[in-house]
Structure 1
Amino acid sequence: MRALFPGSFDPVTQGHQDVLRRAALLFDEVVVCVMFNSNKTGRFSIPERLDRLRAAAAGLSNVTVDSHTGGLLVDYCRRVGIDVAIRGVRHVHDLDHEIPMARMNRELAGLETLFIPADPALAHVSSTLVTGMSRLGRVPDGPVSGLLPAGGGSSEGA
């Protein structure tokens, strides 16, 4: 069975990498896909995000990387034949946002959503926070790059 792990991944974090690794254990193939979000202004270009995702997925033979910049998530899933979306959740506030989308995706296209809870050691990490902290170049215990996967870029690149 194939699954889609969609997101903006701006930048990809250790939390994303953890969810991706865990999803790769559950499915025959996982497509991690950079989705265009008109509500967000991207810091990195789509090609840069794809490169970082490929680095984060290194060693996961059943993971492919793609992007989708036009249309809904369900449009992409229909086009490539995927019936399950993976969503990482850090806390209950994520569920407040994700559950209505999951219900709509199921109603529109029969797309099921599997929620993978964040590793507690990474639950505080978000792309938004990493980006904000990177502007200062540091987090309380060290460089922002410590929150990014190996090969995912430096704190200057976050």
Structure 2
Amino acid sequence: MKRVGVYPGTFDPITLGHIDIIRRGAKLVDKLVVGLSTNPSKTPMFTIEERLAMIRREVAGIDGDIEVVTFDSLLMDFADREGASIIVRGLRAVSDFEYEYQMAGMNQQLNDRVETVFLMADVSLQPIASRLVKEIALYGGAIDKFVPAAVAAEVGARVATIGRKGN
């Protein structure tokens, strides 16, 4: 039986940190499903279709069986639908752990057949967050150290259409 893992997120935009977790998570399972979720508490810069295309392009060269799909449901329902036994989550800092620990506990209550596995982000990638990447770009800063080149270009083009902040 194949061991399936799910790596959920909004990936707005996908960062080098996300790609690191995908690369490493794919080694832990026979199949990794990257689950692109809608999050009602966030206002995305890119549509779900744009993010889906971005992620698929960026993970195409990673070894392993990786599938990228969207979902709009509880994570544990999505995990069941995909036949997953593992949820992969990346951690950057202690503040991430507190939130993720609570979520893992809630998810365990919803479905105790699925385990949550935490992967520490590579030290060089720990400060990267999509929220900060967007903020830097909106104020005219360079983001090429935080995202793949094609993503940096897409973020730059989006900022050009919505307008930069600041003077």
Amino acid aligned to 1:7 = G
Q: Deviations over 1:105-139 (max 9, x none)?
A: 1111122100000100000100000010010221x
Q: Is the 8 A contact 1:87 1:116 kept in 2?
A: yes
> For residues 149 and 116 of structure 2, what CA distance do their matches in structure 1 show?
28
Aligned residues: 153
Match of 2:117 in 1: 114
More helix as a share of residues? 2
Match of 1:149 in 2: 148
1:1-158 matches, within 5 Å, as 1-60=3-62, 61-69=64-72, 71-110=73-112, 111-138=114-141, 143-154=142-153, 155-156=155-156, 157=158
CA RMSD of aligned residues (A): 1.4
Once structures 1 and 2 are overlaid, which stretch shifts more, 47-56 or 146-155? 146-155
Segments of structure 2 that go 5 or more residues without pairing to the other structure are 160-167
Question: 1:73 deviation in Å?
Answer: 0.5
Amino acid aligned to 1:134 = A
Q: Is the 8 A contact 1:56 1:150 kept in 2?
A: no
Amino acid aligned to 2:48 = I
Name the TM-score, length of structure 1 as normaliser: 0.91
Amino acid aligned to 1:104 = M
Segments of structure 1 that go 5 or more residues without pairing to the other structure are none
Question: 1:86 deviation in Å?
Answer: 0.4
Structure whose alpha-carbon radius of gyration is higher? 2
In the TM superposition, structure 1's runs of 4+ consecutive aligned residues that sit over 3 Å from their partners are none
Alignment identity in percent?
Answer: 37
Name the TM-score, length of structure 2 as normaliser: 0.87
Q: Deviations over 1:7-33 (max 9, x none)?
A: 010110000000000111111110011
Query: Equivalent residue of 2:42, what SS?
Result: coil
